[in-house]
């Protein structure tokens, strides 16, 4: 979902840094409603002609509902403490990641404001990324998806 | 924290059913602020003279902050899907548990309204109770606490 926001920032002639992508996210919601980012994602997904799609970056239940109107959705929350998430962001070092812990807390506040906490609280599955290695996390997610596939087939 | 609310309902001459405990929770917050239930818990805890205490039933970050003013806190989110949580409540069958799925969704909405999603999103640790047996869950929580003890000792 971040890709869609970064593309939209570019389209508006803005640098895709933390401040601008945050602003574009808020603008999109204001202009096109709570599920604006999900709707843009759904356009991209329709072009993929894929049977199964992984969407990363859900921020609200309105977005989840937009996806649920078009497909069967398994909502997975990948959780870690604020400190751990900040460390992971620093490791990743993407252009629009917050640079300081203060900017990071500000981003958290913005995302809690649009309702990410509700989406996490009502997730179908939760996987902790507090102590996992990337390999371990991938294995856990694979297990979650496999269990879901079996359940859907049953 | 539910014990404190049920005791308060009793003190006010109310049956401790789902509707009344929900109302008492809202009343307490209105009368004594967002962290009212935590403050009542802290009074009980002070009488215990215990070194370590497990508190169950956090509903908002204001409550977490009230505990953090008095002690070192490890905030653990134990997560499961709405369907799974409803099944577990039915199994437990406590007097103030919601009787129907509609009442349960209503309770979720009330608790999301006071900010439980934010507390879950910003937890220090997350443990999934989606597929765990009670024994497995207890072992995972013990591991989380042991790791925290080691970290605090280091």
Name which of A81, A108, A131 is nearest B123 (Cβ-Cβ): A81
Q: What is the pLDDT of residue B79?
A: 96
Per residue in A7-65, pLDDT (tens digit) is: 999 999 998 888 888 889 889 999 999 999 999 999 999 999 999 999 999 999 999 99
Burial of B54 (0-12, 13-18, 19+ CB in 10 A): exposed
Q: What is the pLDDT of residue A143?
A: 95
Instruction: For residue B14, count other CB atoms closer than 10 A to its CB.
Output: 15
* Alpha carbon A100 to chain centroid, angstroms: 21
- What is the Rg, in whole angstroms, of the alpha carbon atoms belonging to chain B? 16
| ipTM of the modeled complex | 0.86
Contact indicator for B24, B14 with CB cutoff of 8 Å:
yes
* Alpha carbon A95 to chain centroid, angstroms: 17
From chain B, the residues in CB contact with A118 under 8 A are 112, 117
Task: For residue B127, report the phi and psi dihedrals to the nearest 5 degrees.
Answer: -125, 130
Q: What is the pLDDT of residue B97?
A: 87
Per residue in A118-131, pLDDT (tens digit) is: 999 999 999 999 99
Report the chain B residue with the minimal C-alpha distance to residue A140: B128
Q: What is the pLDDT of residue A84?
A: 97
- What is the Rg, in whole angstroms, of the alpha carbon atoms belonging to chain A? 16
Mean pLDDT estimate for chain A: 93
Q: pLDDT category, A94, cuts 50, 70, 90?
A: confident
Q: pLDDT category, B96, cuts 50, 70, 90?
A: confident
Distance from the B32 Cα atom to the nearest Cα atom in chain A, whole angstroms:
24
Sequence-ordered list of residues with C-beta below 8 angstroms from that of A5, at least 6 positions apart, any chain: A21, A24, A25, A28, A37
Instruction: For residue A62, count other CB atoms closer than 10 A to its CB.
Output: 19
CA pair distance A35, A23, nearest whole angstrom: 16
Which run of H or E residues covers position A125? strand A125-128
CA pair distance A57, A1, nearest whole angstrom: 5
pTM: 0.90
Distance from the B16 Cα atom to the nearest Cα atom in chain A, whole angstroms:
25
Helices and strands: H and E segment counts in chain B = 8, 2
Contact indicator for A124, A116 with CB cutoff of 8 Å:
no
Which run of H or E residues covers position B112? helix B101-113
Name which of A116, A119, A121 is nearest B116 (Cβ-Cβ): A121
Stretch B26-40: mean pLDDT: 93
Name which of A108, A116, A127 is nearest B128 (Cβ-Cβ): A127
Contact A118 B112 (CB under 8 A): yes
Contact A126 B79 (CB under 8 A): yes
Place of tokens 């509902």: A65
Place of tokens 């203060």: A102
Distance from the A130 Cα atom to the nearest Cα atom in chain B, whole angstroms:
7
Checking if the pLDDT of B13 tops 90, the result is yes
């Amino acid at each position: 979902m971040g890709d869609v926001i970064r593309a939209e920032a570019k389209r508006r002639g803005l640098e895709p840094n933390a401040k601008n992508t945050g602003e574009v996210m808020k603008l999109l919601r204001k202009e096109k409603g709570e599920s604006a980012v999900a709707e843009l994602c759904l356009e991209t997904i329709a072009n993929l002609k894929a049977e199964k799609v992984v969407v990363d970056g859900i921020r609200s239940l309105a977005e989840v509902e937009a996806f649920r109107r078009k497909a069967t959705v398994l909502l997975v929350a990948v959780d870690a403490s604020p400190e751990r998430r900040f460390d992971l962001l620093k490791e990743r070092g993407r252009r629009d990641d917050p640079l300081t812990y203060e900017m990071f807390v500000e981003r958290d506040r913005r995302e809690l404001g649009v309702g990410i906490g509700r989406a996490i609280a009502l997730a179908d599955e939760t996987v902790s990324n507090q102590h996992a290695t990337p390999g371990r996390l991938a294995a856990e997610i694979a297990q979650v998806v496999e269990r879901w596939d079996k359940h859907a087939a049953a």
